[in-house]
Structure 1
Amino acid sequence: MVESAPVAEPAAPVESAPERVSAPASEAAASIAPAPTPAPDLDPGTRRGVPPVAAPQPSSVPPVVESTPAVAGTAAAASVIPGTAALPVTGGDALVLRGVTKRFGSTHAVDGIDLTVPAGTFYGLVGPNGAGKTTTLSMIAGLLEPDRGTIHIGGVDAAAKPLAAKRLMGVLPDRLRTFDRLTGRQLLYYYGVLRKLPPAVVESRTADLARAFDLEDALGRSVSDYSAGMLKKVMLAGALIHSPRLLVLDEPFEAVDPVSSSIILDILSAYVAHGGTVILSSHGMDLVERVCTRVAVIVAGQVLAEGTVAEVRGELTLEQRFVELAGGLSDVEGLEWLHTFSD
């Protein structure tokens, strides 16, 4: 699972956002475009942190991930920050992992993984529980350090230039820990100013995202009162608020109702269509098969199959292929006693 801080600390807010998102969701999604590649890493002495609004500062705030304010390519957005415009879909690789390994004691959680995620793709990471998906995503997001191997985000070496790499990403962790005493509006404001967006831009994008994610009535309430699905949506909105090149999403559709799932999918699909890249983990094989461009099947920390969805599934469905690669069905022999009932 993508690791996050204790209850009072936000899960490494490395977020992103479209500008001028407007309802309905299909129209809102159409304006999303990734931000331009930011400037090189700043000297550590120039980093600045902005505390959350109307909330006590946590004991350990994640490093400030700096970014150049950017908006999606609409005329209205360009008027907020002059000179910004939508980027065309670009080639190249958004994410490259080579020989990435992570051990926890004697357990190889990730064992020499190689992955290449082209820019402008929907990339699915699937595997059984404990296969190493979340550990892999945690290392991509910079929440864990690999024991060996290299990770490049948009050509940036994540080990050599962690701030520059994080600047390109938005992250939705699996374990949703955040400042739950803030309201939804305050939480999104915190995410935006942490990314060095001007307050007026943060407020505008917050309003756009609230409309797109159907959160307008919830922004004034404490995050602690949110349902699991609402919390997922507000944190995904936070991951989008700075309009990154790459979204790293761990189970983005878990605990989300079908209507909200459709809204999220519309927004992410338009984001990818405008040149953004999404890598996500999911147990929903039907969803992965329907929306992903490429997929990797991870079992026991190793990639057993990788390619386009058609290449990986072959003559089977993706779910059948997944079960086959994961070792088949479990042995239920010996559970005959379960067919009788005690009174």
Structure 2
Amino acid sequence: MIKLQSLTKVFGTQRAVDGLTLEIPSGEIVGLLGPNGAGKSTTLKMLTGMLEPTSGTASIEGYDLLTESMEVRKRVGFVPDSGAVFESLTGLEYLEMIAALYGIPSAAARERIQQFLAFFDLGFDVLTEKLLGAYSKGMRRKVVITAALLHNPAVVFFDEPLDGLDANAAVGFKALIQELAREGRTIVYSSHVLDVVERVCDRVIIIDKGKVLMDGAPEALVKESGAPSLERLFTHLTGGDDLERRAADFAKTFRS
């Protein structure tokens, strides 16, 4: 479903993504982990056509990222970490615009929007009464998730999707992506919430400085490393072994 071959992105003298080579099959939920600046968001932006790779290749459902970019865009959905939307539109106007861009007929788009409203336990008036600029962070995130899934994509990229969601919406979202995977969709889930990744992902890819450090099933990686948890394994691989000591030293500065 997704294939990367030596995918690289350079900004000036910085190699944000450094020769990523991997394959992700249909129906798999993959957790993409890494510290800030590891190259996660840059990788997702390349795979969604928002950034052009410096070198290397990638394909989605057999379509080349560079030479068949429109075919790639038809097949992917993306929830960026920014949650950026057109703030001068209502939620309904924004979703109808997204549907029109994907060529979804108006009646079918309205039906799908209603289905997502029911899923998030929202009334239709929520989408029509306020501009997106006045939405709460959680409400905006629900609209962005809906927009990413409206065209029924084969591949969905999520970058910190739970940011701003309340507890019930987060539980529902996790159940949703598991159901999408069972239906054959491929889910790439980038997050810093490691316990959630450990529970919902079939596979974890840990990257740092643009390179893959580990790749495998969460429980297998933890067992092979001898670490007590995925969180401990992650901090060890990414140079965070002394975080507890540093936290204790920092806390001492507040003592009288």
The 1:320/1:205 distance shift into structure 2, 3 A limit, reads same
| 1:132 Cα deviation after fit | 0.7
Q: Does 1:128 align with 2:35?
A: yes
Q: More strand per residue: 1 or 2?
A: 2
Matches within 5 A, 1:1-343: 94-216=1-123, 217-220=125-128, 221-314=130-223, 315-316=226-227, 317-327=229-239, 328-330=241-243, 332=246, 335=250, 338-341=253-256
Runs ≥4 residues deviating over 4 A: 333-337
Alpha carbons 1:181, 1:223 under 8 Å: kept: yes
Deviations 1:100-145 (A, max 9, x none): 1111111111111112111101110011111111001111111001
Question: Distance between the aligned counterparts of 1:338 and 1:137, measured in 2?
Answer: 39
Alpha-carbon deviation of 1:339? 4.3
Q: Partners in 1 of 2:250 and 2:145 — Cα distance?
A: 42
Q: What is the one-letter code of the residue matched to 2:233?
A: R
**Closer, same or farther in 2 for the Cα pair 1:154/1:335, shift >3 Å?**
same
Amino acid paired to 1:113: L
Structure 2 CA distance, aligned partners of 1:337 and 1:307? 39
How much has 1:250 moved relative to structure 2? 0.6
Q: Counterpart of 1:157 in structure 2: which amino acid?
A: D
Distance in 2 (CA, whole Å) between partners of 1:335 and 1:207 is: 50
Contact map agreement 1:210 1:219 (CA 8 A) in 2:
no
C-alpha deviation, 1:149, in angstroms: 0.8
Q: Secondary structure at the match of 1:210?
A: helix
The alpha carbon displacement at 1:334 in A equals 6.9
Superposition TM-score, scaled by structure 1 size: 0.69
Q: Deviations over 1:141-185 (max 9, x none)?
A: 110011011111011111110001111101111112211111111
Q: Partners in 2 of 1:214 and 1:336 — Cα distance?
A: 42
How far did residue 311 of structure 1 move? 2.5
* 8 Å contact kept, 1:96–1:152: yes
Q: CA deviation at 1:335?
A: 4.9
Which residue matches 1:59? none
Segments of structure 1 that go 5 or more residues without pairing to the other structure are: 1-93
Q: Aligned equivalents of 1:288 and 1:140: distance in 2?
A: 21
Cα distance, 1:329 vs structure 2: 2.6
Give the whole-Å Cα distance in 2 for the aligned partners of 1:272 and 1:178.
Answer: 26
Distance 1:280 1:145 in 2: 21
The CA RMSD over aligned residues, in Å, is 1.6
Deviation at 1:337, TM superposition (A): 6.2
Distance 1:109 1:227 in 2: 32
Q: What secondary structure sits across from 1:219 in the alignment?
A: helix
Unpaired stretches in structure 2, ≥5 consecutive residues: none
